[in-house]
Amino acid sequence: MSQGRGEAARERILAAAVRRIAEEGIDGVRIARIAVDAGVSPSLSHYHCATREALLTQALDYSYAHAGDVRISSGELASGSHAQRLDTMVRQCLPVSPALEHDWVLWVELWLRAVRDHELSRVAEELYARLHEWFAGAIAAGVAAGEFADVDADAVADLALALIDGFGLRALIGDSAVSLERAHAAVSSSLARELGVGELLVPRAVLDAAGPR
């Protein structure tokens, strides 16, 4: 198999794995079913994903690259104020689309297994480091431009990720008190206060529609 065809097959396997894990959970996934979904042989699927842990690790990396790096490179982030950019980043880290819902379900699977599995805890740490770097860089740029208060960008980035995790998980499970708009508004308005931004990162109408805090 040529390198190009091999990479295409791997992409199909991982895309199928992301969908299956999101729908059935990692414990319910069968490598043979992923092979059928991907249109490849079971032996090829096993070659790329020999264990469930390896499957979850590779699926997470694939999902992050497609749902994460795509949002990082989104043209929507290239314009507007630093506050608008940060608000867009917050929204794109919440489960606001089917692809991002799949991304979130994989993270939940990772959280559960990383508690007991050292290798997966390392994977989680690396993924959080990438997200932290993205947020800290955006915050530091706003500070340098004089748009944000002179804050510790790393500390505020940690706060941002903690808020996104907490509110995002409640939105993901369908908590009636936390809609996606409520989660978005709560995270962005909290960051606005931390950053000394006079206006909320989200429009007032959005925050009002999200309900009481």
Condensed to tens digits (0 to 9), the pLDDT of residues 8-23 reads 888 888 888 888 888 8
State pLDDT tens for residues 30-76: 888 888 888 888 788 777 777 777 877 888 778 777 765 555 554 44
CATH superfamily of 51-210: Tetracycline Repressor, domain 2 (1.10.357.10)
Which pLDDT score is estimated for 204?
A: 45
Domain 1-50 has CATH 1.20.120: no
Same CATH topology for 1-50 and 51-210: the answer is no
| Termini Cα distance of the chain | 57
Which pLDDT score is estimated for 120?
A: 83
Which pLDDT score is estimated for 67?
A: 63
Which pLDDT score is estimated for 206?
A: 44
Which pLDDT score is estimated for 191?
A: 95
Residue corresponding to tokens 């379900």: 105
What's the CA gap between 13 and 21, in Å, rounded?
12
**116: Cα within 13 Å, side-chain hemisphere:** 4
Residue corresponding to tokens 């079971």: 42
**Segments of the chain with pLDDT less than 50:** 1, 74-76, 203-208, 210, 212-213
Q: How does 100-123 read in b/e, with b if 16+ C-beta sit within 10 Å?
A: bbbbbbbbbbbeebbeebeebeeb
Which pLDDT score is estimated for 209?
A: 52
Query: Where in the chain are the domains?
Result: 1-50, 51-210
Which pLDDT score is estimated for 150?
A: 96
